[in-house]
Amino acid sequence: MIDYFALALGHGLMAVALLRLFFRPDLEVDPLLRDLADEADRKRREATQAARHSRRQGADG
């Protein structure tokens, strides 16, 4: 009887640990991918601002 209890307790604690690891909010976030996405957004905004500025300069001149 005690063997079943020890087996169930050990497996239960491992299941709890795995569930806690699985439901962590930072588990699905890769910092490198987030940095790459931020850099792409920044470049896109800069390109848009530069294009807008050059169009204004061309229309004024």
> 8-29 pLDDT, tens per residue?
999 999 999 999 998 888 777 7
AA identity, residue 29 = V
pLDDT classification of 33: cutoffs 50, 70, 90: confident
8 A C-beta contact, residue 27 and residue 21: yes
Which tokens in the block code for residue 16?
Answer: 């709890």
Question: How much is the pLDDT for 17?
Answer: 97
Buried b (16+ CB within 10 A) or exposed e, 2-19: eeeeeeeeeeeeeeeeee
Question: In whole numbers, what is the pLDDT of the chain averaged over residues?
Answer: 85
Q: Look up the pTM and report it.
A: 0.45
